Amino acid sequence: MSFVELGLSDELLKAVTEAGYTEPTPIQAQAIPTIFMGRDVLGCAQTGTGKTAGFTLPMIDILAQGRAKARMPRSLILEPTRELAAQVAESFDKYGKHHKLSKVLLIGGESMGKQIAAMDRGVDVLIATPGRLLDLFDRGRLLLTGVKILVIDEADRMLDMGFIPDVERIVKLLSPIRQTLFFSATMPSEIRKLADAFLMNPKEISVASPSLAAETVEQFMVAVKHGGCSGTQGGMREKRATLRSLLKREDPVSAIIFCNRKRDVDVVARSLKRHGFDAAQLHGDMAQPARMEVLRRFKNSEVKLLVCSDVAARGLDILAVSHVFNFDIPTHSEDYVHRIGRTGRAGRKGRAISISVPEDGKYVAGIERLLGGKIPPLHLDGVVESKIDNSAVAAEQRGPRDRGKQKEEKETQVKSETAAGEVHKRGRRENPEGRNEKTAVGMGGRRENPEGGNEKTAVGMGDHMPAFMQRKVKSLK
């Protein structure tokens, strides 16, 4: 199958060739003709499958006919985070460069005045996070009745972040005569119900993740001796020293360093800079222009090391990232998979090295259960290694009383950014602060089951756990 066979215009074919794509990905091959037919789409696909081009390319050709009126966008793309919204906007620039479509990015943290002025000039494509869109709507700055194509992207993350009520409200403001494209990495029953409510006779498209990070990413674990949450001075100091040794040893081309808490992002980045490393930081409390500037510098290889939180790095697609370091072990197994997936992109090799303290035992066990294999240890000179403390896992397996204790422990640990939400039975976390994006947590709606579970089955992942999650990790050497 070639892009020509998909019926794209010459301008788009040129843009696609210039982007270096030779053939459509499976989701593109299925979604593009369906969207051209005017049908709704229910796509089960992750980032990395090429889904953005899957909806952006046909939208550009469809929108090339007709003109935009002031304050009445002709199409609307809803994204859960500012970074994802900005990435989709970049895709529109890349693929739409031979067209004359107008696009506005409506995200929190950026000047509302400029966004309003751009809306007033007429918009073909409006890319927005739900909160900012509703703010502008409530101020009477835009009308949504002219939207002919609606894209709801990353629906399961919207659910995770507590945005679904906003999305429902937005959909009610649109004309029922529209085409709706709905994408989600997983299809738990909440998401399916939403899809049923929003879509009319959709074509269902489901594609596997193109690359399990674990297949292209070599993973290692360095266990350091000092325990205590990463916040305690001893543990932090030792972990920082370990990180420096790792950076010297690995000499990454470009690396992302994950911390569980925003305040530790700050501490680790400052410490690295003090020791002469080329580092920048990215977390949800930074002003949007500063976040964008850091991302720009990192993407352009102007800075080598990016220290960040899960939320800030969600969905980042930067090919040059050779290494991921987990300064903290994520408390949710699935975040581990998302974190290490920032390297080893598009078939390249990557290395992911995690630093654990004895108290991380139960989290490491959860991750290894999800991966279906042990993460090999990495022995570093000068690092006093310790055994992983599995007593917490054992307590979980023993019974409900210990589990209660575990839960308490978890709840005290998760006050800050990584786990501000509640862990639901289904694995869903809600953002207690409604649609405030800054406090949004985690990478997806699929959570490890804190109740344990057997070795092979990763649980709490929604009804449709992606197949790649169920595969054994091929190479952990």
Question: Structure tokens of 103?
Answer: 């696009």
Which one of residues 30, 41, 48, 76 is an interface residue with ligand AMP (CB under 6 A)?
Answer: 48
466 binds ligand AMP (CB under 6 A): no
CB closer to ligand AMP, 84 vs 259: 84
The dihedral through the CA atoms of 427, 431, 435, 436 has a sign that is negative
- Give residue 124's region: left, alpha or beta (phi > 0; psi -120 to 50): alpha
CB of 254 to ligand AMP, least distance (A): 15
Nearest CA among 103, 108, 147 for reference residue 127: 103
CB of 454 to ligand AMP, least distance (A): 32
CB closer to ligand AMP, 79 vs 417: 79
Which one of residues 1, 9, 11, 21 is an interface residue with ligand AMP (CB under 6 A)?
Answer: 21
Which one of residues 90, 135, 317, 385 is an interface residue with ligand AMP (CB under 6 A)?
Answer: 317
CB closer to ligand AMP, 24 vs 188: 24
Span from 43-51, 96-104, 376-384, 469-477 in contact with ligand AMP (CB under 6 A): 43-51
Span from 17-25, 98-106, 134-142, 275-283 in contact with ligand AMP (CB under 6 A): 17-25
43 binds ligand AMP (CB under 6 A): no
53 binds ligand AMP (CB under 6 A): yes
460 binds ligand AMP (CB under 6 A): no
The bridge status of strand 350-356 relative to strand 323-326 is parallel
30 binds ligand AMP (CB under 6 A): no
Scan residues 257-316 and list those touching ligand AMP (CB under 6 A): none
Span from 48-56, 98-106, 135-143, 377-385 in contact with ligand AMP (CB under 6 A): 48-56
CB closer to ligand AMP, 87 vs 260: 87
Span from 24-32, 127-135, 259-267, 387-395 in contact with ligand AMP (CB under 6 A): 24-32
209 binds ligand AMP (CB under 6 A): no
CB of 255 to ligand AMP, least distance (A): 19
CB of 360 to ligand AMP, least distance (A): 30
Span from 18-26, 249-257, 419-427, 439-447 in contact with ligand AMP (CB under 6 A): 18-26
343 binds ligand AMP (CB under 6 A): no
Residue pair 44/464 in contact by the 8 Å Cβ criterion: yes
CB of 236 to ligand AMP, least distance (A): 34
CB of 43 to ligand AMP, least distance (A): 11
Number of residues that bind ligand AMP (CB under 6 A): 12
Q: Which residues contact 424 (CB under 8 A, 6 or more apart)?
A: 430, 447
Which one of residues 6, 30, 32, 49 is an interface residue with ligand AMP (CB under 6 A)?
Answer: 49
CB of 46 to ligand AMP, least distance (A): 7
Span from 50-58, 128-136, 139-147, 157-165 in contact with ligand AMP (CB under 6 A): 50-58
Which one of residues 8, 43, 51, 124 is an interface residue with ligand AMP (CB under 6 A)?
Answer: 51
36 binds ligand AMP (CB under 6 A): no
Which one of residues 34, 52, 81, 418 is an interface residue with ligand AMP (CB under 6 A)?
Answer: 52
Three-class HEC string of the chain = CCCHHHCCCHHHHHHHHHCCCCCCCHHHHHHHHHHHCCCCEEEECCCCCCHHHHHHHHHHHHHCCCCCECCECCEEEECCCHHHHHHHHHHHHHHCCCCCCCEEEECCCCCHHHHHHHHHCCCCEEEECHHHHHHHHHCCCCCCCCCCEEEECCHHHHHHCCCHHHHHHHHHCCCCCCEEEEEECCCCHHHHHHHHHHCCCCEEEECCCCCCHHHHEEEEEEECCCCCCCCCHHHHHHHHHHHHHHHHHHCCCCEEEECCCHHHHHHHHHHHHHCCCCEEEECCCCCHHHHHHHHHHHHCCCCCEEEECHHHHCCCCCCCCCEEEECCCCCCHHHHHHHHCCCCHHHCCEEEEEEECHHHHHHHHHHHHHHCCCCCECCCCCCCCCCCCCHHHHHHHHCHHHHHHHHHHHHHHCCCHHHCCCCCCCCCCCCCCCCCHHHCCCCCCCCCCCCCCCCCCCCCCCCCCCHHHHCCCCCCC
219 binds ligand AMP (CB under 6 A): no
Residues that bind ligand AMP (CB under 6 A): 21, 24-25, 28, 47-53, 317
